[in-house]
Amino acid sequence: MSYLRGSANYVWSTTCILGRGATATVYQGVNKKTGDPVAVKTFNKLSLDRPANVQMREFDVLRKVNHENIVKLISIEDDLENSSKVLVMELCTGGSLFSILDDPMNSYGLEEDEFLLVLKDLTAGMKHLRDNSIIHRDLKPGNIMKYVAEDGRSIYKLTDFGAARELEEDQQFMSLYGTEEYLHPHMYERAVLRKPGDKLFSSNVDLWSIGVTLYHVATGSLPFRPYGGRRNRDCMHFITTKKESGVISGVQKDHSTSSIEWGRDLPKTCLLSAGLKELFVPILAGVMECDSSRMWSFDRFFEEVTAILCCRRLHVFHVSECRELVLYIAKDGVEDTRPRMSDIAEQLNKQTNVSSKNQLVTFDKQLLENYLQQNGHLPATCVQRAAYLFNVEAKEVRLSSVQSMQSAKFPEFPSSGVNLDEDASIAKTWCSITHVTKRLIERLLRCYQHLEKAPMELAALIEERTAGLKAEFRFTKEAAYAMDRQLTRTAKSQAQICELTALVPTESPELDQLKRMVASKQPAAQRPMLDSLARTEREIDSLEAKVLSPKSLSKQWTQRRSEVPPVDGCLETASSYVAKIRDNWQALARDKATKKLTYHDEQFHMLEKHKMQQTSLKLMALMQDRCLKPCYKLSQRLQTWYRESISAHRTCLQLKLALGSLTEMAAWYSQALKTDEEFDSIVGQFITTIKTFSKPPPQASPQLMLHQPPLSPQPLTDILAQRNGQLDKVLLLKLEELRKEQNEILQIVEEIQEIIYNVLRLSQ
């Protein structure tokens, strides 16, 4: 009997089945001329008995659509054996999404990057269908195929359009299609429970199926699970129709409805990050609404998914908690391309409860804020190369992964005998736990690498800041001594003014007040200021000795890190153990398929279980002894170093903040010098005026007097009084100018002195 069948241009083997459904079977075939592999869909008698227009519906839909995320139709040909139509489509070598989820490696859902790829491709494919007014009506993981392109990219594609049809946005339909677990509750009521009614359905039934499918992809399990599974149909209908708005899962633990556990969030075993869960859960809640008035529209679904896919991702390692974080930074608009540090701080606060004032975020040995200012975009990060979050108030470094490790427990095989079904089921669960354990090992190894690298990031930042403090403080010291000289000079100038006032036959209470102010300022300001300068300089020198050479922070950490054993080879060993356990599981699965074993086959069956148990013990020992313990030791070394370093950073930050006011001080000092120059000029004018008025009046020559008419006689005392009056007025005007300039100088000196005191107080 031949297993080969063909059409005019293609041939396929009936033993190479890719998938089987209620109305059709898909085989792998090849092009007769080129040898290119293809998928060939043939239809059984049940399909051929349908009306001709229903049979042609799938062909018409496939001809109409053309999109990267929909399986491509290559040709429609006739089977040479029975003349029935066959569909020739592109071959998706990655298998169906259902088979991927059925693998023990994905028992708890896909990892984040792969999930986002499924979300993107599924949404793009569905949007193309809606743009062409097509509903699928049987959307599920089994009808989503993984295509591996020539460049190695994975592309998920929608397939199986046997239930699809054209349906406008405002149209409805009555026919029943779909798979039980993914059906909208109203369709489930009619198609599965066989309840009478003439209820019409809209295109939104695909949204419910999308929600159930995405939950399955994210968690590895169906969202609504009655006790006893598919057979408990009434409870399935009860769960989906009676759940409250916002509930995205319901699991019945026994026969009573009171045992149903409702969920508004994804389970803890889900591999998605907290940042993605926060954005994704509302989408699930929106599309899995039984009440049509509350269910989202396709437009809103597409909009919300697009918002997630457009988010900029930032991987962050929280050092104090040894946790991996993923931030999803949304764009405010089309023109918004520059991320804001405030948005990042807010996201970190949500996920870690570390307030923004206590956050120190670094990337590539610099503050992340500085990186954003210099580059205008987020750095390219991943789980291996992340930004680092330091909590400046933290006093401990904890391994948060330890708590989740307690859930990784292996099941037990029956103590005696051989039960093929039970053994295969337990072996599959065993293999799932093995993959969970391997992920924990990978997380521990990444944690180890981050704990090695993060201190070097912090040390580089503190060392750079400390090195700059010396130069900045030198400027502070020069400014302070300049103020000291300014006060001395002001006092000297005041003494000169006092000598000048002796020449003025009038009292000046303003000048006396100025004299007292200068006398009180100089001794009160000079000594404390110089003492504070010396104390602050000693503190900077002490900080420099702790942070910089000869024993810098980075060198101290290198020394402490060398005391912890390395973790080289752990991942390779774990991968080897996982591969062996997968082989054991597949051997037990093959035994189940044979249904009956010989005596010798049973012995090998028992041996496979024994080897699985022994390898699992080795895997757990590897995780505990060679991964967890070194990570714990490294975290303890880091804890001591971290406390000292954060203390140095806090001191450094205080000094940096204090020295930041130097620009203002320099501006005031410049103004003081300018005013002082004006003061000197006025004093010079003052002295010149006194000298001018102090000279005796010039005597006229005898020859000139002979030609002048005689003057009226004037007493000498009147002439002297007139000259003294003119002198008094001039001197008073000059003294008033001096008083104003001196007051201005003193005001500037007071303001500079206050700045210096603030600097020194902050630095202590």
- Tell me the mean pLDDT in the region 97-105: 96
The pLDDT value given to residue 44: 86
Place of tokens 């403090």: 469
Can you give the pLDDT at residue 666?
A: 46
Pick from 41-55, 170-184, 452-466: least confident: 170-184
- Evaluate whether residue 303 is within a structural domain: no
The pLDDT value recorded for residue 682 is 59
Q: Last residue of some domain: 296, 330, 358? A: 296
pLDDT of residue 693 exceeding 90, the answer is no
> What token pair was written down for 230?
């598919």
What digits encode the pLDDT tens for the residues 26-43?
A: 999 999 999 999 999 998
pLDDT mean over 327-336? 73
Mean pLDDT of 632-649: 89
Residue 719 covered by a domain: no
Q: What pLDDT does 425 receive?
A: 94
Indicate if the pLDDT at residue 117 is higher than 70: yes
Distance CA 29, CA 75 (A): 13
Give domain status of residue 708, yes or no.
no
Q: CA torsion sign, 465 to 471 to 474 to 479?
A: negative
What distance in Å separates the CA atoms of residue 42 and residue 40, rounded to the nearest whole number?
A: 6
Which residues partner with 144 through β-bridges?
158
Please tell me whether residues 444 and 591 are part of one structural domain. Answer: yes
Q: pLDDT category, 716, cuts 50, 70, 90?
A: very low
> Is residue 268 one of the residues assigned to a domain?
yes
- Is the pLDDT higher at 340 or at 696? 340
Same domain, 600 and 494: yes
More confident residue, 157 or 704: 157
Contact 250, 259 (CB under 8 A): no
CA distance 135 to 715: 125
- Of 529-533, 558-562, 593-597, where does mean pLDDT reach its minimum? 529-533
Among 23-37, 46-60, 123-137, 218-232, name the one with the lowest average pLDDT: 46-60
pLDDT at 663: 44
Strand order in the sheet with 366-367: 323-329, 312-318, 387-391, 359-363, 366-367
- Residue 19, amino acid: G
Which CATH number covers residue 25?
3.30.200.20
In a domain, 201, yes or no: yes
Per-residue model confidence (pLDDT) at position 740? 63
Average pLDDT, the chain: 82
Q: Give the domain range for residue 516.
A: 420-673
What is the CB-side half-sphere exposure of residue 206 using CA atoms within 13 A? 29
pLDDT at 168 over 60: no
Q: Which of these, 316, 411, 383, 418, lies nearest to 107 by C-alpha position? A: 411
pLDDT for the residue numbered 101 = 96
- Give me the catalytic one of 36, 49, 78, 138: 138
Q: What residues form DSSP beta bridges with 366? A: 363
| Assigned token pair, 29 | 């075939």
Look at the block and give the residue holding tokens 């040709």: 75
Q: How many domains does the chain have?
A: 4
- Dist. CA 24–CA 44, nearest whole Å: 6
- Among 442, 435, 245, CA closest to 324: 442
What is the end-to-end Cα distance of the chain in Å, rounded?
95
| pLDDT of amino acid 403 | 53
In angstroms, rounded to a whole number, what is the distance separating the alpha carbons of residues 136 and 133? 10
- Do 586 and 483 belong to one domain? yes
Instruction: Please indicate if the annotation marks 41 as binding a ligand.
Output: yes
d(CA 617, CA 621): 6
Residue 184: the pLDDT is 85
In this structure, what CATH number is given to the domain that contains residue 319? 3.10.20
* Residue type present at position 199: K
747 lies in a domain?
no
Q: What CATH number has the domain bearing residue 476?
A: 1.20.1270.420
Identify which of 528-532, 540-544, 580-584 has the greatest average pLDDT.
Answer: 580-584
Q: Are strands 366-367 and 359-363 parallel, antiparallel or unpaired?
A: antiparallel
Answer yes or no: do 77 and 206 share one domain: no
Alpha carbon separation from 439 to 299, 397, 527 (Å, rounded): 37, 22, 65
**Mean pLDDT of the 540-552 span:** 72
Identify whether residues 20 and 45 lie together within a single domain.
yes
Q: Residue 201 gets which letter from DSSP?
A: B
Give yes or no for a contact between 290 and 243, defined as CB atoms under 8 angstroms apart: yes
Closest residue by Cα to residue 388 from 335, 323, 299, 448: 323
Q: Does one domain contain both 138 and 272? A: yes
Predicted local distance difference test score (pLDDT) of residue 755: 60
Strand partners, 45: none
- Shortest CA distance to 263 belongs to which of 222, 229, 235, 293? 222
The reply to whether 344 and 277 lie within a common domain is no
Last residue of a domain, one of 296, 329, 353: 296
User: Which residue is it, tokens 């580059």?
Assistant: 375
Q: Which two tokens stand for residue 24?
A: 């059709």
Distance CA 120, CA 276 (A): 14
Task: With respect to residue 683, please indicate whether it lies within any of the assigned structural domains.
Answer: no
**Residue whose tokens read 């890719």:** 18
Q: Judge if 42 and 144 occupy the same domain.
A: no
Q: 406 versus 638: which is more confidently predicted?
A: 638
Exposed, middle or buried by CB within 10 Å (0-12, 13-18, 19+), for 89?
Answer: buried
Question: Does the pLDDT at position 586 exceed 90?
Answer: yes
- DSSP state for residue 548 in the 8-state scheme: S
| Residues 554, 448 within the same domain | yes
Task: Assess whether the previous peptide bond of 715 is cis (omega < 30° from 0).
Answer: no
Residues 86, 104, single domain; the answer is no
Instruction: Looking at the structure, tell me whether residues 280 and 384 fall in a common domain.
Output: no
In this structure, the answer to whether residues 344 and 441 fall within a common structural domain is: no
Model confidence band, residue 462 (pLDDT cutoffs 50, 70, 90): confident
In this model, does residue 733 exceed pLDDT 80? no
- Give the CATH number for residue 177: 1.10.510.10
At 478, the pLDDT band (50, 70, 90 cuts) reads confident
CA atoms of 435 and 271, how far apart (whole Å): 12
Alpha-carbon span 757 to 763, nearest angstrom? 10
Helix-then-strand count for the chain, H and E:
21, 18
Percent of the chain with pLDDT over 90: 50
Backbone angles phi, psi at 673, to 5 degrees: -65, -40
Q: What is the mean pLDDT of residues 274-286?
A: 96
Domain-embedded: residue 739: no
Please give the pLDDT value at position 173: 45
* Domain stops at, among 55, 74, 90: 90
Cα-based torsion angle of the residue sequence 32, 36, 39, 44 in order, rounded to the nearest 10 degrees: 0
Residues, the chain: 764
Q: Which helix (H) or strand (E) holds 362?
A: strand 359-363
Q: Kindly give, in sequence order, each residue whose CB lies less than 8 Å from that of residue 492, ignoring residues fewer than 6 positions away.
A: none
49 included as an active-site residue: no
